[in-house]
Structure 1
Amino acid sequence: MKKTLSAAALSITLLFTSGIGSVFADSALDQEIDKVLGTRYSYGGTTTSGFDCSGFTMYVYAKLGLKLPHQSGSQFDMGTSITRKDLRAGDLVFFNTTGSGISHVGIYVGDGKFAHASSNRGVVINRLAEDYYDQRYVGAKRIMSDDKYEQSADTSS
């Protein structure tokens, strides 16, 4: 019974996380994230062999032509603060998961969801409104200029 429930839960999770479903389906941003969904978590990881949270955001942004430092707190020091209601695909979202400041980062993908490297599940998509993330949400930063945003939202690539 327990294995059946676990298999069902995994199937439902995969159903909800396959394809990002952002406002820019098949955009350059979505394509880069889709390529690494499921990549395992690796502390300090910055490649498709394994990512930590800031390594994941650094990797995706590099694919879009933007350079980020490899540390969530340093990424939080960049860009322009954005309110939760003003989030757009590509904005970085930050969390305090340790109780001592910024300790986790992900990429907002639209529709209330964000992509990130989870220490338990690797690169996945979650909802910002999930209790765990909602309670630990610190803020968001817009790193992409409007021009870069338009390029990353382009679905013709």
Structure 2
Amino acid sequence: MSEIEKLVEQRELGEISIIDEEIFESVKPKGKCGSDRGKWVSPSITSLYGPFREGEKLRKEAEEAKKEAYEAKKEASEANEKNKTLTKELNSFKNEVRVMKGVMEKFFNLMGGDFSKLIANEVHKENNQEKSDDGDDDEDDHGDDGEEEEEEEE
């Protein structure tokens, strides 16, 4: 039994707490030059003793993360396309509203009315309605109703 296999077996039995890279570091032959020591696991070692578990696990995790990143990028590009499409539709609707407003203005001017006053009145009504809607939430319900009931009794 090789020294690597002994260390792996001891680790599996729980006698030692060591990862595959540390096992390899303790067993690997020392190179004569710095470039030999810089090479981590050589292909010949992995072919002799099989792949290291932690390395395989990390490789699989990296592949999964890469797939997730690709999916996220794909979803983001689809969202960008939808956003561009909706922006184009919104701009076309704005142009249609502008054209319709111009047509209505010409129509009212031909009829003798003042379109700008009509629009100003509509905006004023909408603003008042929004203010009254906001005010209704804060007021009590029995404020004005009680006065009307008293007038009816008289």
Report the TM-score range of the alignment, normalised by the length of the smaller protein: under 0.3
Q: Higher helix fraction: Structure 1 or Structure 2?
A: 2
Which protein is bigger by CA-based radius of gyration?
2
